[in-house]
Structure 1
Amino acid sequence: MPAQTVADLTVLSRLRAPGLGDQPRPVWSVTTAPQGYEGEGFPVRRAFAGIDLARLDPFIMMDQMGEVEYAPGEPKGTPWHPHRGFETVTYIIDGVFDHQDSHGGGGTITDGDTQWMTAGSGLLHIEAPPEWLVQQGGLFHGIQLWVNLPRTAKMTDPKYQDIRGGEVALLTTPDAGVLVRVIAGELDGHAGPGSTYTPMTLVHATLEPGSRLELPWNVDYNALVYVLNGHGSVGVDAQPIRTGQTAVLGAGDFLTIAADERQESRHKALDVVVLGGQPIREPLAWAGPFVMNTKAEVMAAYEDFQKGRFGHIPGH
């Protein structure tokens, strides 16, 4: 897994251990993501399917894209499509993805890179593997997260952040058994490079077999744990969790994740995405690529899109 790694974890800053009085977050639920296809046909797991949106707030949805080994000619992406009212976060673990939008944003992201696109008032964009990758095939694995925008920011100007893998903050546990990558937000006084409208933290952690992660977490945020690959447990009562499952946690000061001693042959470690944010607690009207506060605003977004107000496809 070529997402940002370090050969010697002992050189990294250590996360603090929970202190006296710190409360562990209980596990409210564990759900299994259904599998499907997105865009032109690349496989995805719908990480948050079946979870109450109120528990997800400020997040809307997350897809695990792949993990898939493409044969030559197989890699696929999405056609040009619109967005309004939220942010898309694309984190590539393995493989290469090209992005382009109607406001001049875009670029190529690969192993450990993140593209953070604030759709705001509206834009068109496309995501696809580069032509050379389509021709030769190869491994592809990543996530795409949708982050809601508060009412006051839904019509903000579109914005694009290109976050290189080498920019993420790297931390470890007191025993140096876990690699913690902070992509956005703040964790135990360490800030990730991603800039967000909605206060939130996004982490990718790799737990070696038998290791344990006690992760300090902002008490004002919700907390979600999604397993990219591997087997382990979550919560102080050690509820089992495995590839493609999401745990929703309750309130507290820290959360606990542990990796089983035995892991899959393909992946020697447990990889999880941990995310949480300040709930927006506003009405949500969501239809396809538009996430607004009212049905009338969604209908207006469709009308603006149909009338070409989201910009134009470059070169067309």
Structure 2
Amino acid sequence: MRTIKQQHRAVSAPIADLTTFRALPTESVEHLDPFLFLNHHGPQVYRPNNRGLPFGPHPHRGFETVTFILEGDILHKDSSGHESVIEAGGIQWMTAGSGLIHAEVSSDNFKKEGGPLEILQLWVNLPAKDKMVEPRYIGLQKDEIPTVKLDDGRVTVHAVSGNWAGTAGAVQPLADVQLAWLNLQAGARITLPIAAARTVFFYVVRGSLRVNGTDTKALQLVEFNHDGDALTIEASTDTVLLLGHALPFNEPIVSYGPFVMNSEAEIQQAYRDYQRGAFGTWQG
């Protein structure tokens, strides 16, 4: 069993009227290679005739964003011509690669009708060899994401990428990054094999559980040592867990605002490229 290195509490970081908890980075943890950033938006309830999500057009280069829509919806639009509305239970996987401009806002229907909203956005680094790949966007609704039932149905694994108990995830990413979110009923217990060399990303969205004998709860990011090849998870209450794992890239990470590269020179080049229009033209 892996031992726990440290638990990190997500910090309150509201954006306009959007309730937000930032789990990564915080004062106690900068990144978990190759996992760079996690914002947990909500849970909250929007009134009718609201302004929706505040993420208007902005650029990215050098990494991927994976967005989990637990409640509410997101309208994605980008300078590569992709546009879709993904609803509760769906995901968006965007490879920024060499650069694009995108917006993440609420649909007209959500702004008109309101309702509950809870969204997780995870940034995953790209290895140096893939940082300048052509941008890609995948938007999947709930019924397009395979699920796996474990522990006599008390655990549901939503397999986003990689392989989970013999079931392939919906997305085949450039790097070997396995991602899923799990719904665990109170009393559920599972053991998952994860090779010791891999970095585990383990964030409790709702509820409380015990992992490898240690208690944790909502808004906690659990950091593990590389000293074991299994996680045993026991749900103390009904729980939602964001779980991932990947081999660390062990490359320099230089980030500034919306760009994540391997050197300061590459960051400066990203700004120059963006300013000269190399990320595409935004059509409002």
Normalised TM-score (structure 2): 0.94
Aligned mate of 2:49, from 56, 73, 88: 73
Equivalence map 1:19-168=2 (5 Å): 24-38=1-15, 41-48=17-24, 49-53=26-30, 56-74=32-50, 75-168=52-145
For the pair 1:240 / 2:215, whether they are aligned, the reply is: yes
Unaligned 5+ segments in structure 1 are 1-23, 264-268
C-alpha separation between the residues in 2 aligned to 1:271 and 1:181?
A: 11
- Inter-CA distance 292–143: structure 2 relative to 1 (3 Å threshold): same
Query: How many residues are aligned here?
Result: 281
Q: Deviations over 1:175-209 (max 9, x none)?
A: 33211111111123321011211211111111111
**Structure with more of its chain in strand, by fraction:** 2
CA displacement at 1:146 relative to structure 2: 0.5
Bigger mean CA deviation after superposition, 289-298 or 197-206: 197-206
Tell me what 2:242 maps to: 273
Q: What SS does the aligned partner of 2:13 have?
A: strand
Q: What SS does the aligned partner of 2:112 have?
A: helix
CA displacement at 1:41 relative to structure 2: 4.2
Q: What SS does the aligned partner of 2:129 have?
A: helix
Tell me what 1:17 maps to: none
Bigger mean CA deviation after superposition, 149-158 or 134-143: 134-143
Equivalence map 1:272-291=2 (5 Å): 272-291=241-260
C-alpha separation between the residues in 2 aligned to 1:98 and 1:174?
A: 35
Tell me what 1:312 maps to: 281
C-alpha separation between the residues in 1 aligned to 2:48 and 2:153?
A: 40
Q: What SS does the aligned partner of 1:210 have?
A: coil
Q: What SS does the aligned partner of 1:213 have?
A: strand
Bigger mean CA deviation after superposition, 105-114 or 67-76: 67-76
Q: Deviations over 1:63-110 (max 9, x none)?
A: 111111111233223110000000111111111110000001231101
C-alpha separation between the residues in 2 aligned to 1:146 and 1:132?
A: 27
Bigger mean CA deviation after superposition, 124-133 or 211-220: 211-220
C-alpha separation between the residues in 2 aligned to 1:193 and 1:135?
A: 31
Percentage identity across paired residues of the two chains: 35
C-alpha separation between the residues in 1 aligned to 2:138 and 2:248?
A: 23
Q: What SS does the aligned partner of 2:274 have?
A: helix
Contact 1:228 1:244 in 2 (8 A): yes
Normalised TM-score (structure 1): 0.84
Unaligned 5+ segments in structure 2 are none
Bigger mean CA deviation after superposition, 127-136 or 139-148: 127-136
Tell me what 2:233 maps to: 257
C-alpha separation between the residues in 2 aligned to 1:118 and 1:64?
A: 20
CA displacement at 1:213 relative to structure 2: 2.3
CA displacement at 1:271 relative to structure 2: 0.8
Contact 1:25 1:255 in 2 (8 A): yes
C-alpha separation between the residues in 1 aligned to 2:5 and 2:254?
A: 25
Equivalence map 1:156-305=2 (5 Å): 156-235=133-212, 237=213, 239-251=214-226, 252-260=228-236, 263=237, 269-305=238-274
Q: What SS does the aligned partner of 2:19 have?
A: strand
- Inter-CA distance 50–197: structure 2 relative to 1 (3 Å threshold): farther
CA displacement at 1:51 relative to structure 2: 4.8
C-alpha separation between the residues in 2 aligned to 1:212 and 1:50?
A: 32
Contact 1:62 1:145 in 2 (8 A): yes
